[in-house]
Amino acid sequence: MYKLNTNNKDHISIKFWYLEWEKYVQNKNYSSAMKLFENDVVSFGTWMDIVQGLDQLKLNQWKNIWPTISNFKFLTDTLFIQLSPDKLFANSIIIWDSIGYKNDGISFERTGRATVTLKRDNLNSNWKGIHTHFSLNRGVPQQSFGNFK
């Protein structure tokens, strides 16, 4: 496994995968985001210990979080990738930030990190997520209620 040079074609393709997903999170575009993942994705995060399957990930994670936050952004300069020798499997970690909202609508910095495992069928196919794990940084409130002001 290797940390890839940021000019590497594989690193760039994974960076663009994150930027595409970021756009879907910002726009709450669940159907387009789902196309970035395999149907049998396995994840865990804030709302569920283990989420099996894409429909459950959308229902039990994304729909509980995306509507309650704003300004979601992956900090792609923090992207670290471990790539298999055949370049068909990648493990990646990245820092992200967003704005969360307390119950009274007051905003707070909602920051964290993510691990995403990706695979592709061949070197010309698109990356698909097969595992995600998002965690908030220490001290960040666990729940955001949305900006309803």
pLDDT of residue 1: 41
Q: How many CA atoms lie less than 13 Å away from 9 in the CB half-sphere? A: 5
**Is 80 a member of any domain?**
yes
Look up the CATH number of the domain holding residue 69.
Answer: 3.10.450.50
Q: In the chain, how many domains are there?
A: 1
**pLDDT at position 4 over 50:** no
| pLDDT value of position 2 | 43
pLDDT confidence bin for 142, thresholds 50/70/90: confident
What is the per-residue pLDDT across 57-67, written as a single tens digit (0 to 9) for each?
Answer: 999 899 999 99
Quick one: three-class SS letters along 55-78?
HHHHHHHHHHHHHHCEEEEEEEEE
Q: Each residue of 70-113: pLDDT tens digit?
A: 999 999 999 999 999 999 999 999 999 999 999 999 999 999 99
78: in domain:
yes
pTM, entire model: 0.91
* Portion of the chain with pLDDT greater than 70, in percent: 93
> Which pair of tokens denotes residue 36?
């970035």
